[in-house]
Structure 1
């Protein structure tokens, strides 16, 4: 499909991990005087460089990059916080005459950007602590079970197999007395209407992507992924339950560093986890981004501009 990038519209680039989003973004930024703005929920954290595949220092020096590594590890950071930060960056881009190129693999960020976000009050620390206790004693699936009884309307609009989403919905219901689907029904207009953008989803053959994922993780290990995890572990910042420490492969490498897994087993498990994550991303993008341009890519940078 021919995609017209030659306009003044903001460019959105989504896709599964390792599909080449950053490479495309760099090429477009250099051609259209762009600023690359991060839409990946883990690349916002300061301590993760290698395992989250954050653009290298050389890449970031080649054109403006924003919202990468600006949040301290284990600091709460929500989709709403990202939208707030993004709103400011879009104003800066306009003032500087730069074209926004928003790219990443967090589908919820893009959905919120183009469809709006409900203004839900902050969840109290007491409710979060209660959720921690439930998860620790009854498992992550408990929130879907509780929602099925107390708020089936919200559960119907969620991926019931995603413990982060079901926990969030339970926390909202418990904290506010109102289901998350009810809050979402009152969603204000989006920051960017889809018609104001050039939205692109990168697609690839599964076998090609899986092979690329495997090679990339080997490269991450060679680049120092073990040292990155060791530094976080030794600094006392490692908290496997915090969203900031969900970088794929981190738990496996930490287990290796703690003597619970061989390096080979840790690497193999991390590759499996990454491939499974990419599969979930592809499924989500197919169902949620049907009105986006679908760009097939099986080799890096072999696509029309």
Structure 2
């Protein structure tokens, strides 16, 4: 097998509140790394408290690319991220450093490394037609229809998942091809970097859940509602924008709309964050080539640094491990 001469890169992935940023900063003290954020909320300016954005002192000491690069009124896609991240990775490499991409947005990691399939844009008229049909036969009936045209997609999509059923049927109607066939597309050439993936996967979720609850309560004390009030006062932001749909912001927005009280805001925010963490962990378990690390082990930094040192070709003496 020929030698792999691609430049090196690190992916540090994990659920929300697992300590990814702290570990990334600690690793950058030991190795010549340049940090890149992989977070769909941190790209937006003005989303600070609720997005758990690193504070100014941390960012001054450990600069991160791809933080505060969009106004919250501007959507930012996985395709946008892929372009921006590769440019950042090249800049870091040209500066003689190794890019370390750190975050929890699985779709961004996947789009970057594997590419995205080319699917048609949404068609409002067709969606309205599908919704009308669903009103007559129910989404279970629409799911059975999907199973006729695309059994593989129907096997992945639950009968009650109206949004994904509608999208799958929409793609079939627009292209004449099953959605599952088209999702096999993506990157045709090898990813330009050779990657070590580190995944923070808690063996016991109780400490993670406790951190999630504590962090959301801290966000409320630190002024999350004031932050969301300021976003609302702009007048150009609506709750259907990706920035406002982010966990924590959506619940705070609804609270300010009077949909529930302060206790419900706390409970809903914590529950939504736990659900996000659950989805992230499920995705990470599918990353078969990632090295799993328990974020609650006291030797986390030593284990992560050892894996990085081996990957980068450092000996233990030079890294001080």
TM-score by length of 1: 0.82
Looking at structure 2, the residues matched to 222 and 184 of structure 1 have their Cα atoms a distance apart, in angstroms, of 43
Looking at structure 2, the residues matched to 157 and 231 of structure 1 have their Cα atoms a distance apart, in angstroms, of 40
Looking at structure 2, the residues matched to 295 and 244 of structure 1 have their Cα atoms a distance apart, in angstroms, of 30
- Which residue is 2:50 aligned to? 51
Q: What displacement does 1:170 show?
A: 5.0
- Which residue is 2:275 aligned to? 276
Looking at structure 2, the residues matched to 130 and 104 of structure 1 have their Cα atoms a distance apart, in angstroms, of 36
Q: What displacement does 1:180 show?
A: 3.7
1:201 matches 2:199: yes
What are the equivalent positions in structure 2 for 1:2-151 lying under 5 Å apart?
A: 9-120=8-119, 123=121, 127-128=123-124, 131=127, 145=143, 147-148=146-147, 150-151=149-150
Please tell me the root mean square deviation across aligned C-alpha atoms, in Å.
3.2
Q: What displacement does 1:83 show?
A: 0.8
How many residues of Structure 1 are paired with residues of Structure 2 in the alignment? 292
Q: Verify the 8 A CA contact 2:294 2:300 in the aligned structure 1.
A: no
Looking at structure 1, the residues matched to 181 and 154 of structure 2 have their Cα atoms a distance apart, in angstroms, of 12
Looking at structure 2, the residues matched to 163 and 41 of structure 1 have their Cα atoms a distance apart, in angstroms, of 24
Looking at structure 2, the residues matched to 230 and 46 of structure 1 have their Cα atoms a distance apart, in angstroms, of 15
**Per the alignment, in what secondary structure is the counterpart of residue 90 of structure 2?**
helix
TM-score by length of 2: 0.78
Change (3 A) 1:38 1:159: farther
Looking at structure 2, the residues matched to 131 and 74 of structure 1 have their Cα atoms a distance apart, in angstroms, of 24
Residues 211-242 of structure 1: CA deviation (Å, up to 9, x unaligned) = 01011111111222111111122222443333
Change (3 A) 1:225 1:294: same
**Per the alignment, in what secondary structure is the counterpart of residue 303 of structure 1?**
helix
More displaced, 215-224 or 69-78? 69-78
- Which residue is 2:301 aligned to? 303
Change (3 A) 1:300 1:74: farther
**Per the alignment, in what secondary structure is the counterpart of residue 301 of structure 2?**
coil
- Which residue is 1:261 aligned to? 260
- Which residue is 1:3 aligned to? none
Q: Which is higher, the Rg of structure 1 or of structure 2?
A: 2
Structure 2 segments unaligned to the other structure (5+ residues) = 1-6, 306-321
Residues 5-43 of structure 1: CA deviation (Å, up to 9, x unaligned) = xxx721101111100111111112232232211212222
Q: Verify the 8 A CA contact 1:87 1:191 in the aligned structure 2.
A: no
Q: Verify the 8 A CA contact 1:34 1:63 in the aligned structure 2.
A: no
1:291 matches 2:289: yes
